[in-house]
Structure 1
Amino acid sequence: MDNQEEVSAFLKSRRARITPEQAGLPVYGQRRVPGLRRGEVAVLAGMSVEYYTRMERGSLAGASDSVLDALAQALRLNDTERDHLYAPAPGPGAAGPKKATVRPGVLRIVEGLHDQPAYVRNNRMDILAANPLARALHCKLFETGAEPVNTCRFVFLDPRATRLYPDWERVAREGVGVLRVEAAKNPYDRELSNLIGELSTRSDAFRTMWGAHGVHVFTEGTKRFLHPAVGEMELVHESLNLLGDEGLALTVYSADPGTPAADALKLLASWAATRQQDPADPQPRPER
């Protein structure tokens, strides 16, 4: 995956989404390109057209922080997009990330969260470890039998994903955005490239979202689930990068006490315990 091509396509996509009116620029004559022209971005960023053109061709070598700041402001980049632009690319021949394993201490933390779904994922969105409540929450993912379970592969290739996630499009776009960030950081990660290639080939939706060049980093937020056993619930999630374990992150879901979501989590825990006792009984029996 060529980083210069990635930078070029990213800058073009950000330029195309801003209209002259939004940028406070006058509009003259017929426009043949969506969004801003290169010269207009150069004016907004305070640089020459030639210099911006070179940057948009993928060459950011030698660009100072102040130049990148001006460009980010001109293109109205959010914090995640700024980090994506500023991230230095490894040179050709750089090794991809090492195969990540979850440390025993981290596994004990995950397993110790009895009333909160928790799992550890890598930079490719593979779930490497999950506690029983997380497996119950994502029961359809773990029914695929794949090892490891990959959330992006499930979202785009399994029709059950649209039922599990009422906000499927937002979930899908965020997943694509995470892969886009990782592809820029690790362009020589063969497994990541293979995953992106597989999804691009098999999913029209993924291919369209990938072409939009959106980027995303999971930190905190909310996600809605329509679970087959307990119905709809909206949970808060926190994602924490594991220091010392590059590419690994811990995600924990929770609900405010006394809310319907908290009641749903208790019911989910009860259902998960029942399934552990009788794994041959796959049918959920909601009590509400």
Structure 2
Amino acid sequence: METVRIGVPRGLLYYEYGNLWQHFFEALGAQVVVSDETTQKMLTTGGMLDEVCLPLKVYVGHAASLAGKADCLFVPRIVSVARQMYTCPKMMGLPDLIRSNLSNVPELIDTPVSLRQRQVSLVDSVISIGYRLGQGKIASLGAWYWAWRQEGVKKSVMTGTDGLPATALRIGLIGHSYLIQDKFISMNARAKLTAMGMAVITPDQVPACQAQLAARDLDKKIYWSYCHQLVGTALALINDKAVDGLIFMTSFSCGPDSIVGEIIKRKAGESKLPFMLLNLEEHTAEAGFLTRLEAFTDMLKRRNSR
């Protein structure tokens, strides 16, 4: 039997679960084809969409780039990843968006995932995907368990500072993983800050339990799970005095992030912690972007030299 090639666009939640998905499909005997790093061509392809955020445009470009390279595309309809919470609406409508705007992509594996009311629904989703690949219930669950075991433990907040000395100023770079980890979208902000002598702390370096605990200080729960996690991460860094400044990176036209940014800005202000908002879109100029980073880091250095 010929090996099935499953295409996985390198965008959005790929940066959260990409390794897990790849291990799972490979354990089921499939070949995983991940799209290349983001390019201007991908952004141009996705730029045909109006009134959607930059990461979504890039995702469409990644999906289009896999045409002819895979037998099917894995574009799950992720509704919820936590009880009583939702993902961003763009995650829920991804399969429909791809089908309605791209005519040359292969069949989609668009299995819904919703843990809003019952955790066991993830089991149903895993089994459903396995069936589509000709695998039974036991094989599918076994592959998922094996894939889950391959995932490493996330680093603590005190690690991952790029080998800089302990005296280096620490900047919390807060933003969705599909922004920070995509070097094209983020203009490699993390590397630029490191080159300026900053020790950069990103959300993946803060334990999830620590972020969830800090988020309890909010007056009202945020029902977008990933935004809730970002606020908790920022609060954890603020409460522990773990950073000398905060940068919140978001994409233009992202409604949930506009709310989150205001909350983080207010909390940082209450603690007299320097804060900067970086808003990204397809017309953002790298020169101006770099100037803002340099100005912020220079201000931190002056502030901490007093």
**Common fold by TM > 0.5:** no
**TM-score, structure 1 length as denominator?**
0.25
Q: Which structure has the larger Rg?
A: 1
